[in-house]
Amino acid sequence: MAVARWAFRVLIAIALAASPRGVSAGDDAAVIPFVIGTAWTYQALLKWTDPPNTLRRSEVRWTSTVIDAFDHGDVAGALLQGGVWDLAWWSSDARPGSYEVLRVGTRYYLLRDVSKTAFAAVKSGGRKALPADLDQHVWFDVPLTKDRVLRPRDMGRRDDTSYGWWIDSVDPARLDVAGLRDRTRRAYRLAYVTLASEHYVTVVPGIGVTAFTYVHHGTLAEAYAHLIAYRRGRGR
């Protein structure tokens, strides 16, 4: 019996060692918390151009908050007030935008300028109420896998990593963030690179977006943000 137990433990250890270095399909809902009241606060260095050609530079703190959420199993969503994407093309009169993160099965989508009414329709209707152009807003799949690329439907097939969300690196990260107990996590950096600009978003499963970089190839517009505080909501 002792030999059998030892052999069983060895088999389990081998299976764990061989498992993919990503988030398991069973943990997909934890990549982005779909919990009302969850909030992320970022410290950001911003550079931008005021008309007609005045270069500006400033540091700001920006908070993104889940103001509505649901999780129906196969479909889940969070409506955000504010997001790191607001920091691109910054201006002194910038206001928090409205963003929707959806998970359908094991695929995540990111939509911008979403109204509370549109979000409520998906919250109550599930799959049958999903936007018709959802494939234009793909973000990433789980398990998160290095070098995976997802593109909007109208981009078609390409033989490079541009014009799509590309998981370009997977690294351990030590998060110096208020509100976190276990600060050593695995971080996945997603890149969206075009001729005009570069977006880099770092995602830590269970936390969400922990870093954001935007660089425009032309008129000065840059943003470098990192998470400094995290609060998980209690929902309702």
CATH number for 224: 2.40.360
Q: Per the domain annotation, does 210 fall within a domain? A: yes
Per-residue pLDDT at 96: 95
Q: Per the domain annotation, does 68 fall within a domain? A: yes
Domain count, the chain: 1
Q: Per the domain annotation, does 12 fall within a domain? A: no
Range of the structural domain that residue 69 is part of: 23-231
Q: Per the domain annotation, does 49 fall within a domain? A: yes
Q: Per the domain annotation, does 4 fall within a domain? A: no
Alpha-carbon distances, residue 98 vs 20, 36, 113, 169 (angstroms): 34, 15, 5, 28
Q: Per the domain annotation, does 7 fall within a domain? A: no
Report CA 76 to chain centroid distance, whole Å. 14
Low-confidence ranges of the chain (pLDDT < 50): 1-29
In a 3-state reduction of DSSP, which class is residue 95? Answer: coil
Q: Per the domain annotation, does 15 fall within a domain? A: no
Q: Per the domain annotation, does 83 fall within a domain? A: yes
Per-residue pLDDT at 26: 39
Per-residue pLDDT at 234: 87
Say if residues 67 and 78 touch (Cβ distance below 8 Å): no
Per-residue pLDDT at 216: 97
Per-residue pLDDT at 206: 93
Instruction: Give the 3-state DSSP-derived string for 1-12, with helices as H, strands as E and coil as C.
Output: CHHHHHHHHHHH
Per-residue pLDDT at 12: 37
For the entire predicted model, the pTM comes to 0.86
